[in-house]
Amino acid sequence: MKKSKLFFHQFAHPEPQKNKKAIWPVFTPFSGCPSRCIYCSQYVQTGQKSVSPQQAARKMSEGILSRFNKTGQPASLGFFGGTFTAMRQEEMIIFLRQAMLLKKEGAVDHVRCSTRPDFINQRTLSILDDHGLDMIELGIQSFDDNVLAGARRGYSGKAALKACILVKQHDLQLGVQLLPGLPGSSAASFSTDITITLQIIPQAVRIYPCLVLKHTPLAAMMNKGLYRPWSLQATVSTLSLGLLRLWREGVPVIRIGLSPEKDLADSLISGPWHPALGSICRSLALKMFLFSRLARVQARPAMIYIPEKCRDDFWGHRKMNEPSLIQKGITRDMVRTWGNNCFRIYYSRSSSSSPAIV
Ligand code: SF4
């Protein structure tokens, strides 16, 4: 009689470590923007109205200090919603000085800003560096010249790449923001954007699929039949593939999709928006990863240990992964969670066949 013996296959979760600390956002809608990009409606994307830099800086300090007094924990501060480095220099410095003071008091331990790649140069980087900025997130959107021209971004893919390199040469942390689904973009152009991003190796990536918001030039283009947004399904499959590629190369993805701000739902006309888009993409990326590992072993799983923290992604948003996991022979009674960041899959195989412990 053949004996059955257990062997296991163990591997780490592909997602790189990311800083989970929440960011204290300071929105400066459209500040410094040289023109209005065809898809942009910062007031509804951020849920913020325009205020003076002095007002915004004061509010920022009051909020952060009050939080610090309550929690004793320093905040991570981020300037978003416009083109930070294209603001009038004295305005930019109002924010930076206030951020430096907060850092000195210990109420802030990381400062970032979001800006466009065509407003990055040596001089600006030196000012940011001198004022203790830690990270620059560049709204690249795409490295594809046709896509950039269609969105009236006003710079080329080469210029975007050069800005990324400049930030890295300055020893500042780099964030890359991509916007798949713009006019002229495709799954192939997004895949190229991911390839270029992987060559740059930024410290963080955000992916915001293109939405059609009221009162934007993109809405007018769509009404004239000149633009069709990506479907949610196509977006999920394209982004999940990109996400998995970034994970595998150790690049953290810190955000997928716009957050469900109050004004966004009222302004959204069309496009691949879902309140749990990030979670759906993570679930699908993890499933693709697991299935590629399962395919390496020619045996049926007997038991599986999964990292506690990825239980939701494993079964998927609204259990979306469960039917295909069952097809692969993985049922709920076989799954255990543990504190390890590894997956361990036990298989049984008759002793007459050779074990394949990986
Ligand atoms: S996308 Fe960025 S650069 Fe363009 S208008 Fe909006 S905030 Fe300004």
| Amino acid identity for residue 153 in this structure | R
Same domain? 72 vs 110: yes
Q: Which among 226, 249, 284 is the end of a domain?
A: 284
Same domain? 223 vs 129: yes
Same domain? 124 vs 32: yes
Q: Which among 246, 263, 284 is the end of a domain?
A: 284
- Mean pLDDT of the chain, nearest integer: 92
- The whole domain housing 66 covers 23-284
Give the side-chain half-sphere CA count within 13 A for 158: 0
Do the domain assignments include residue 87? yes
φ/ψ of residue 334, rounded to 5:
-90, -5
DSSP-assigned letter for residue 228: -
pLDDT of residue 43: 62
What is the arithmetic mean of pLDDT over 336-351?
87
Ligand 1 atom at minimum distance from 39 CA = 1
CA of 313 to the centre of ligand 1 (A): 32
pLDDT of residue 47: 57
What is the arithmetic mean of pLDDT over 301-324?
95
CA of 255 to the centre of ligand 1 (A): 18
> What pLDDT band is residue 18 in, cutting at 50, 70 and 90?
confident
Q: Across the chain, where does the E strand assignment appear?
A: 4-12, 23-27, 75-80, 108-115, 135-141, 173-178, 204-207, 212-213, 253-256, 268-270, 301-307, 335-338, 342-350
Q: Which residue's C-alpha comes closest to atom 2 of ligand 1? A: 82
Same domain? 9 vs 79: no
DSSP-assigned letter for residue 252: -
| 88-114 pLDDT tens trace | 999 999 999 999 999 999 999 999 999
Structure tokens at 179: 């916007």
Do the domain assignments include residue 356? no
Instruction: Answer yes or no: is pLDDT of 291 > 80.
Output: yes
Q: Which one has a higher pLDDT value, 196 or 51? A: 196
- Mapping DSSP to helix (H, G, I), strand (E, B) and coil, where does residue 16 land? coil
Instruction: Answer yes or no: is pLDDT of 45 > 90.
Output: no
Same domain? 119 vs 265: yes
Contacts of 4 (CB under 8 A, 6+ apart): 348, 349, 350, 351
Angstrom distance (rounded) from CA 72 to CA 242: 38
> What pLDDT band is residue 352 in, cutting at 50, 70 and 90?
very low
| 211-263 pLDDT tens trace | 999 999 999 999 999 999 999 999 999 999 999 999 999 999 999 999 887 78
The single residue listed with the structure tokens 């410094």 is 32
Instruction: Answer yes or no: is pLDDT of 355 > 50.
Output: no
CA of 46 to the centre of ligand 1 (A): 12
Residue 137's CATH number: 3.20.20.70
Of 35, 37, 120, which is best to mutate to test ligand 1, by the most ligand atoms within 8 angstroms of its C-beta? 37
Structure tokens at 185: 């973009």
Same domain? 97 vs 126: yes
Report the percent of the chain where pLDDT is more than 90: 81
Nearest Cα to Cα of residue 182 among 135, 140, 127:
140
Same domain? 321 vs 271: no
Angstrom distance (rounded) from CA 153 to CA 199: 22
Structure tokens at 254: 């810190």
Same domain? 301 vs 154: no
Angstrom distance (rounded) from CA 203 to CA 194: 14
Alpha carbon separation from 81 to 33, 194, 223, 329, 354 (Å, rounded): 10, 23, 26, 47, 58
Give how many domains the chain has, as a whole number: 2
Q: Which residue's C-alpha comes closest to atom 6 of ligand 1? A: 40
pLDDT of residue 358: 39
Same domain? 268 vs 184: yes
Of 259-263, 281-285, 345-349, highest mean pLDDT = 281-285
Same domain? 298 vs 177: no
Nearest Cα to Cα of residue 235 among 202, 195, 275, 186:
186
Structure tokens at 51: 């205020």
Angstrom distance (rounded) from CA 326 to CA 321: 9
Q: Which among 284, 301, 316 is the end of a domain?
A: 284
Pocket of ligand 1 (CB under 6 A): 30, 33, 36-37, 40, 42, 82-83, 116, 139
Instruction: State the Cα angle at 338 between 334 and 341, rounded to 5°.
Output: 115
Do the domain assignments include residue 358? no
Same domain? 167 vs 212: yes
Do the domain assignments include residue 357? no
Of 27, 40, 115, 148, which is best to mutate to test ligand 1, by the most ligand atoms within 8 angstroms of its C-beta? 40
> Helix 187-200 to helix 157-169 angle, to the nearest 10 degrees?
20
pLDDT of residue 50: 63
Contacts of 167 (CB under 8 A, 6+ apart): 120, 125, 136, 138, 174
pLDDT of residue 222: 97
Do the domain assignments include residue 67? yes
| 195-205 pLDDT tens trace | 999 999 999 99
Nearest Cα to Cα of residue 185 among 264, 256, 238:
238
Report the percent of the chain where pLDDT is more than 70: 93
Same domain? 97 vs 151: yes
Angstrom distance (rounded) from CA 81 to CA 45: 8
Do the domain assignments include residue 301? yes
CA of 120 to the centre of ligand 1 (A): 15
Of 31, 36, 147, which is best to mutate to test ligand 1, by the most ligand atoms within 8 angstroms of its C-beta? 36
Do the domain assignments include residue 66? yes
- Mapping DSSP to helix (H, G, I), strand (E, B) and coil, where does residue 210 land? coil
pLDDT of residue 259: 86
Do the domain assignments include residue 262? yes
